[in-house]
Structure 1
Amino acid sequence: MGWQQPPQPQGGGTVQMPEQQFGQQFGQQGPVSNDERTWSLMAYVGQFLVGAIAPAVVYLGKARTPFVRKHAVQGLNMALAAIAVWIVGGLLSLAVDVLIWVPLLFTAVVMFFLVYAGRAANRGEFRRVPAVVAWPLLKK
């Protein structure tokens, strides 16, 4: 006798999920190279130096793998959200001086999540940033 596979259900209501190796995050396609980690990190850390240009360069030039593309899109979404908040907050603060704190606080939150996501990228992981900080303007 021995052990046998249980019968597979018939019909179209079931979906087979891809095999996942132990210790891998779901959807990850094997080990991440050092080059991929470096470019993913630059999508976040580069924003401290050149703003939205860094994730745009990574997205347009180096996002050949899903890992780098996910980080570049998330970094670019964060940068675009920060730019929009600064423009709108700056215009509103011309009318009401107290509103200058809105873009300043938003920038502090964005900086925190840049470091948070950058550290994860450097470890070869992907950490999703809340949609309040990284508006889903671009899709992975």
Structure 2
Amino acid sequence: MNYTNRIQGEIKKMTTAPPAGARFEQSPTDIRDWNILITGPEGTPYAGGHFHLKLKLPDNYPHGAPVASFTHKVYHPNVVQDGSLVCSEKLEASKWIPTSNLHNFVVNVIDLFRTPEPDHALEEQIAQEYINEKKKYEENARKWTRDFAK
């Protein structure tokens, strides 16, 4: 089944009313490829960073969850250090339902910057640092943000 109308509606919403702290750019060649620029939320060690997220819609979208990855390193318990995978309870592909939408997906990614989910960590060492050595975690996250989120 072709869901082009659904995708076009989501494109319109993301371009006219994107989530706060996000800017959207659709690939000129593929309606299913999106680039999203997320500004690190104020009050977090990610503030001031510009996080580049690539998002790909599967062929069975909206029945299949989008696949997202950062194009650079992110110091975060829910992101593989090379940026290749975003994971949290809210973003698990198994929890995706066809009534979910990309706007809420991006909001959930932004929320991870505010509130990491160490119980769903992909990087256990960073999760333990977040839990046990918050100041060190924040210093490392700020450094990686300065170094990689440009």
TM-score norm. by structure 2 comes to 0.27
Structure holding more strand per residue? 2
More contact order relative to length (CA 8 Å, sep ≥ 6): 1
TM-score norm. by structure 1 comes to 0.28
Structure holding more helix per residue? 1
- Tell which structure's C-alpha radius of gyration is larger: 1
